[in-house]
């Protein structure tokens, strides 16, 4: 693939505007966070990081994220290899399961979980309604319902 170089002023101006906008989206929240954290100086920040509970929380976070990245790397590699190299029954469904995180943005998925399971969420009336037929209304039966739209949108995209 050959590289195209912008030759006109409007093309260069558009590239500058897009890069400046992206930098603003990245830099402004970071600077705002730093101003809020360092508003009282560096001493409170150092005191917070010196707390044994904070150090333990950071250590646990580091260990768990290392484990999660390792597991995701191994299973992601195996999943990608199987999906690319083999044809099998249920392959499209399996591929759809892999694509779900790309369909639902993280904030949208978090909002759906809050709506579904939060205080006064949608699950509360369902739980009251299902109190008579309790075995069929556990979380394992109610949780997959937010994922149904993803299934249909993924099949229509293929």
What is the secondary structure of 125-158 as a DSSP string?
A: HHHHHTTTTGGG-SHHHHTTGGGHHHHHHHHHH-
Per-residue pLDDT reduced to its tens digit, 4-58: 777 888 888 998 999 999 889 888 888 888 888 888 888 998 998 999 999 999 9
Per-residue pLDDT reduced to its tens digit, 28-43: 888 888 888 888 888 9
Q: What is the pLDDT, as a whole number, of residue 39?
A: 87
Q: What is the pLDDT, as a whole number, of residue 11?
A: 83
Mean pLDDT, residues 129-147 taken together: 52
Whether 111 contacts 96, CB under 8 Å: no
Range among 82-86, 130-134, 139-143 rated most confident: 82-86
72-81, 83-92, 100-109, 148-157: least confident range = 148-157
- The answer for residues whose C-beta is within 8 angstroms of residue 79's C-beta and 6 or more apart is 94, 98
Q: What is the pLDDT, as a whole number, of residue 119?
A: 67
Give this prediction's pTM. Answer: 0.49
């Amino acid at each position: 693939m050959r590289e195209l170089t912008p030759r006109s002023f409007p093309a260069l101006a558009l590239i500058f505007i897009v890069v400046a906008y992206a930098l603003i989206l990245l830099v402004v929240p970071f600077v705002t966070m730093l101003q809020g954290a360092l508003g009282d100086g560096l001493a409170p920040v150092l005191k917070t990081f010196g707390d044994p509970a904070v150090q333990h929380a950071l250590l646990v976070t580091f260990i768990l994220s290392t484990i999660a990245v390792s597991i995701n790397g191994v299973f992601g590699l195996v999943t990608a290899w199987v999906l690319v190299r083999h044809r099998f029954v249920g392959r499209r469904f399996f591929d759809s399961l892999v694509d779900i995180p790309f369909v639902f943005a993280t904030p949208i998925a978090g909002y759906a979980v809050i709506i579904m399971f939060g205080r006064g969420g949608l699950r509360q009336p369902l739980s009251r309604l299902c109190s008579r037929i309790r075995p069929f209304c556990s979380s394992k039966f109610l949780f997959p319902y937010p994922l149904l739209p993803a299934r249909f949108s993924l099949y229509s995209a293929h």
